[in-house]
Amino acid sequence: MDGPDKWFFDKINRNLMQLHAISDVLYSGRTKFQSIEILRSPAFGKLLVLDGKIQSAEVDEFVYHEALVHPPMIAHPEPEKVFIAGGGEGATLREVLRHPSVKKAVMVDIDADVIKVCREFLPDYHAGAFDDKRARLYNTDARKWLAESKEKFDVIIIDLTEPVEEGPAYLLYTKEFYDIVRGKLTPDGLISVQSGSTSYVELVNIKAVARTLRSIFPIVRVYQADIPAFGGPWGFCVASMATDPVKLTPREIDRRIKARGLDKLRFYDGTAHRGMFTFPRHMRRALAGGGRLITDARPLYLYEG
């Protein structure tokens, strides 16, 4: 039997490549900041690809976005104001707006063209979130916007592309940026960060993000979720000055989910929460080792190490 005619090569790291069969190219272009493609995969449905890296896939995007958003949102007793850096698909905004306590969600993504393309080709991702009256959308540099804002936020979510040299995101992973974030959080506020692969052989990015967050915040927790479109387990960090999501029991997580009417979640609940923060022994040892500090003067780039 003949194989597919088209393949997409997704570089996981400098030593590992994942191939995706492609049945159709729905969109291909370049913005001022990055390349963008919308591809159709027989295995994963529609794929959003930025600068040659898969950002989300139709089949399992709910895992990524629920994992990124709901641990900090549920850990906060009543999140009213939320800031999102990146998140061009609108799916992170979608998950934030599920919470009835949210009165304002500010989303800052530098690339208006990505949002335009996603509005057209990925309507199931944003599910109308861009048009919610609680949403505020700005197309500018997220770090600059946050630094100049006088607002405080209960939850800040960093949903950015990985730090590629000359890309739009690398200065939003640094100690200096996290220091800005700390100043914009309410006393019990939390930040969550997509932090790269948690494959045992590719921990450079997440260890560096965790160490850098620990230079600013006293509470930093690393967690993961399996996302097949990304080639395996994917890591996140959540940090706070006062609120520790690991202290919440599965029963309390489920109670808060029910109280907030989040009955349509597909991935996240109390059992999933406990599992995400639980690593086997070899991973606990590997993650405990020191990553390097990311600074403006010495940023971290994908494929480093």
pLDDT at 15: 74
Choice among 17-21, 24-28, 144-148, 221-225 with the minimum mean pLDDT: 17-21
Nearest alpha-carbon partner for 131 in 90, 177, 80: 90
pLDDT at 167: 53
> Residues 243-262: pLDDT tens digits?
999 999 999 999 999 999 99
User: Taking the chain, what is the end-to-end CA distance rounded to the nearest angstrom?
Assistant: 40
Task: Give the pair of three-digit tokens for residue 62.
Answer: 């709910």
**Helical axes 61-75 vs 250-259, angle rounded to 10°:** 100
CA distance 56 to 37: 11
Catalytic residue annotation: 159
CA distance 121 to 149: 32
Nearest alpha-carbon partner for 240 in 257, 227, 254, 221: 221
- Burial group, residue 240, by CB count within 10 angstroms (0-12, 13-18, 19+): buried
Q: Give the residue with greater pLDDT, 231 vs 115.
A: 115
pLDDT at 277: 97
Q: Give the residue with greater pLDDT, 165 vs 140.
A: 140
Cβ pair 240, 189 in contact under 8 A:
yes
Task: Give the pair of three-digit tokens for residue 159.
Answer: 């949903």
| CB within 8 Å of 117: residues ≥ 6 apart | 27, 29, 36, 38
> Residues 66-81: pLDDT tens digits?
999 999 999 999 999 9
CA distance 50 to 67: 21
Residue type, 122: L
What does each C-alpha distance from 286 to 16, 195, 207, 213, 291 come to in angstroms? 20, 15, 9, 17, 10
CA distance 105 to 102: 7
Q: What order of strands is seen across the sheet that includes strand 45-50?
A: 24-30, 35-41, 45-50, 53-57
pLDDT at 4: 64
pLDDT of 303 over the 60 cut: no
- Burial group, residue 40, by CB count within 10 angstroms (0-12, 13-18, 19+): middle
* Averaged confidence pLDDT in the chain: 92
Domains annotated on the chain, with CATH: 6-57 (2.30.140.10), 61-288 (3.40.50.150)
Mean per-residue pLDDT, 35-55: 94
What does each C-alpha distance from 225 to 42, 98, 106, 231 come to in angstroms? 22, 20, 25, 11
What does each C-alpha distance from 221 to 5, 81, 117, 126 come to in angstroms? 43, 22, 34, 28
> Residues 188-239: pLDDT tens digits?
999 999 998 898 888 888 999 999 999 999 999 999 999 999 888 999 999 9
Question: Cα 99 from chain centroid?
Answer: 18
Give percent of the chain above pLDDT 70.
Answer: 94
pLDDT of 84 over the 80 cut: yes
Q: Assign 179 to helix, strand or coil.
A: helix
DSSP characters for 250-262?
HHHHHHHHHHTT-
pLDDT at 1: 35
53-57 and 45-50 strand pairing: antiparallel
35-41 and 45-50 strand pairing: antiparallel
pLDDT at 152: 97
- Residue 161: which pLDDT band, with cuts at 50, 70 and 90? confident
- Residue 16: which pLDDT band, with cuts at 50, 70 and 90? confident
pLDDT of 3 over the 60 cut: no
